[in-house]
Amino acid sequence: MSIICDFRENIKNDELKNISKVIKEGGLVVFPTETVYGIGADATNKEAVAKIFEAKGRPQDNPLIVHVDSIKMVKEYTSSINDTEKKLMEMFWPGPLTVILKSNGILPDNVTAGLSTVGIRMPDNNIALEIIKKAGTPIAAPSANVSGRPSGTKLEDIYEELKEKVEVFVNGGNTDIGIESTVVKVDEENVVNILRPGKISKEDIEEIGLKVRLDKHIFEDVKDGEKVESPGMKHRHYAPKTKTILLEYNEDSSIMQDKVREYIDNNSNKKIGIICFSEHEEYYKNMGIKCITISSVNNNLEMSRNIFSYLRKIDKLNIDICIIEGVKKEKIGTAIMNRLIRACEYNIL
Ligand code: TXA
Ligand code: MG
């Protein structure tokens, strides 16, 4: 049976000690970060790491992110960090940025899925940092959810699917950002390639004077046999069982609304719902469809905080089709649209 530690108000020292003991003995701990909850184990312990793959049903070829509490810890597991990588870590850590670095081979090969690189980040969350510090070891942790399901942003959403598989759940309340970290890899020309967009955006990285490129698979599906920079790009993600359709953003909201009206007319035998901005609720309600408001227009931080929890709700709404209003593909909006395109399995309106 698993136990729950409630750290929402404060971190309790005796429980923290117990959590670090579980980690050191090779157990699994679900803990909050500033992005989403992680399901973590001692990154240096191959058997413990194997338990993460088993608990999630995660494909063996998908490497894990290693969480650290210092740059010193990064150096223990990597070889040759260049100036661009160093700058990224100095400017954005602790924070929602995972940097893919050259592994020195000390971490077990199931952490890196046999790659010569390792993804590392320092989370901006005191609970996560205290757990790493107390355990005295880097913690490998993918998002805490069964593979393919939306990532967990609150404990209630993931407890049921993981309760048989984890020793300890640490409750830190709702996570701040709500979508996973930006994953970057610096190439030979010193260009920062964004493999997975997140809160730290292309614009943010350009602002510190670096060249940035968005990987084409952020918005495009991977074709059979095509080579990818990050194994996570190939796998099915976030999709509810209900058919979902992404409505592309337009400055002129009447264009978005006309598309929905036409879609409803062409699918009059289906029960349709929409996840929409509060400002558009009246309009869609008048079309006679179920509306669930997610945020106000252009409040992308509110939207990113809610998105995974809302994707989990869709299957409980008793509808055949769920339309989701999209946002502008800029800053964190790029990350929101990347997750939504996947959740909607590339169905776009
Ligand atoms: O915000 C986050 O990053 C959360 C929290 C818990 O830290 N973690 C997370 O982990 O989202 P996960 O496993 O769900 O996603 C890790 C992503 C995958 O797409 C994986 O393919 C990629 O990072 N990745 C990890 N190591 C890599 C490597 N060496 N090369 C390329 N991609 C890598
Ligand atoms: Mg994940």
pLDDT > 80? residue 236: no
For residue 231, the ligand 1 atom closest to its alpha carbon is: 21
Span from the CA of 301 to the centroid of ligand 2 (angstroms): 19
Residue among 49, 65, 147, 222 to mutate when testing ligand 1 (max atoms within 8 A of CB): 65
pLDDT digits (tens, 9 = 90+) for 308-332: 999 999 999 999 999 999 999 999 9
Q: Are residues 71 and 157 in the same domain?
A: yes
Mean pLDDT, range 226-243, rounded to an integer: 87
Residue 306 lies in a domain: yes
- Domain tally for the chain? 2
Mean pLDDT, range 143-172, rounded to an integer: 96
Q: Are residues 261 and 188 in the same domain?
A: no
Q: What is the pTM of this model?
A: 0.96
For residue 180, the ligand 1 atom closest to its alpha carbon is: 1
Q: What ligand has the least distance to the C-alpha of 123? A: 1
For residue 145, the ligand 1 atom closest to its alpha carbon is: 14
Mean pLDDT, range 67-89, rounded to an integer: 97
Q: Are residues 30 and 169 in the same domain?
A: yes
**With bands split at pLDDT 50, 70 and 90, how would you rate the model's confidence at 225?**
confident
Q: Are residues 35 and 104 in the same domain?
A: yes
pLDDT > 80? residue 1: no
Q: Are residues 9 and 153 in the same domain?
A: yes
> What is residue 224's predicted lDDT score, i.e. its pLDDT?
86
Q: Are residues 258 and 189 in the same domain?
A: no
First and final C-alpha spacing in the chain: 45
Residue 63 lies in a domain: yes
- Please report, for the domain that includes residue 80, its CATH number: 3.90.870.10
Q: Are residues 256 and 138 in the same domain?
A: no
Residues with CB under 6 A from ligand 1: 33, 35-36, 38, 62-65, 96, 98, 100, 112, 115, 117-119, 123, 141-143, 180-181, 183, 195-196, 230-232
- Which of 218, 235, 254 is the endpoint of a domain? 218
Residue 226 lies in a domain: no
pLDDT digits (tens, 9 = 90+) for 133-147: 999 999 999 999 999
**With bands split at pLDDT 50, 70 and 90, how would you rate the model's confidence at 158?**
very high
pLDDT > 80? residue 44: yes
Span from the CA of 199 to the centroid of ligand 1 (angstroms): 14
Domain that holds residue 163: 3-218
> What is residue 17's predicted lDDT score, i.e. its pLDDT?
98
Residue 233 lies in a domain: no
Mean pLDDT, range 247-271, rounded to an integer: 96
Q: Are residues 130 and 247 in the same domain?
A: no
- Please report, for the domain that includes residue 339, its CATH number: 3.40.50.11030
Residue 349 lies in a domain: no
Q: Are residues 294 and 184 in the same domain?
A: no
Residue nearest to atom 7 of ligand 1 (CA): 38
Q: Which of 221, 222, 200, 224 is nearest to 212 (CA)?
A: 200
Find tokens 């030979």 and name the residue. 188
Within 13 Å of residue 214, how many CA atoms lie on the same side as its CB? 18
pLDDT > 90? residue 233: no
Residue 237 lies in a domain: no
